[in-house]
Amino acid sequence: MPDSLTTRWLRPTGAPDAEPRWGHPDGIQVGIPPIPGPRGLLRIFTPHLDHPRERLVNFIAVEPIPRGETERGYSELEPSTLDPGQNGKRLWSADDAASAERGDTPAPARGTIESVDGVETLTVWIGVERFDNGADVRVRVRFFADRPHEVEVAGFANAASVPLSTLVLTATMGNWARLRRLHLADRVVTPAELWPGFSGTAFTEHGRFPLGALTRDGNAAVVSASGDEDDPWSVEYSADTATHWHFLGRRAVQTWRVEDPHPDLEVLVNARWAYWASASPIPGGPAYENFEIVEPFREGAAFRFSVERL
């Protein structure tokens, strides 16, 4: 429920068993476990798309790469050392960076309300269990009162971390919305163009797009993805497709915006022919699944993620 002190923000109550979910009551929201779903992932909710409360539009995974290495850590897939026998790193919330760095907290943080450049904001810090590769990081999640369909996420290295080459905050569930139109500065690119004839249950290789391929808005770099179906509600699914993959609500465009991009920034995308953890084909063919903004690690480098109705 919205905060009892102000209806502007959705925040946990402060009770130990409160739902760890923050954001705009009628706009974009972010949650973490124990909200249902895989461990190690931030959940993105968009009730403004006429979704039921439990409907996710996307996840964000935390994937750091230490300096001098090429293999990344995977917050969703790595075994937990804090919770033996569980796959996926533990996440927790905090009201400030120091608390997020120190470790797990007994109750979901309420988040901090403050003014940034004259705009009221809600900020919550997400702590992440240490990765097997030595990366030790935290994520800042910030909402702006004047942008109800947008959230800003930024990555930070804790003092105990090994030096990082990059810290990738990966959107991991484009298949649900069947995102097939990647909007670049001068063209729209589809999975069929990037990986013609692809099928099977694996991921494609990554498609890579440098900063120069992205739309610019002043200094900011902007890239968007949308579906290619006028009527995504009426497609036919294979009989073995889990119901949670069925499209519902409004059509939308998902957009990533980097206000101060590094010159070496790249956008990486891959695709799937079948829904994750299944052999069920995606209606209409391969769709983008993972979307990544990759650049050399900079403390606090942020991007804004928005979901707007079409």
pLDDT 10s digits, 212-265: 999 999 999 999 999 999 999 999 999 999 999 999 999 999 999 999 999 999
Kindly tell me if the per-residue pLDDT of 2 is higher than 50: no
- Determine the Cα–Cα distance for residues 107 and 115; give it in Å rounded to an integer: 25
Do 144 and 245 fall within a single domain?
Answer: no
Residues 34 and 150 in one domain: yes
Whole-model pTM? 0.95
Residues 124-163: b if buried by 16+ CB within 10 A, e if exposed: bbbbbbbbebebbbbbbbbbbeebbbbbbbbbbbbeebbe
Do the domain assignments include residue 5?
no
Are 47 and 63 in a shared domain?
Answer: yes
Count of the separate structural domains present in the chain: 2
Confidence band for 7, pLDDT divided at 50, 70 and 90: low
- Let me know whether 182 and 295 are in one domain: yes
Instruction: Assess if residue 154 is contained within a domain.
Output: yes
pLDDT, tens digit, 9 for 90 and up, residues 293-309: 999 999 999 999 999 99
What domain range includes position 228? 175-310
- Together in a domain, 109 and 49: yes
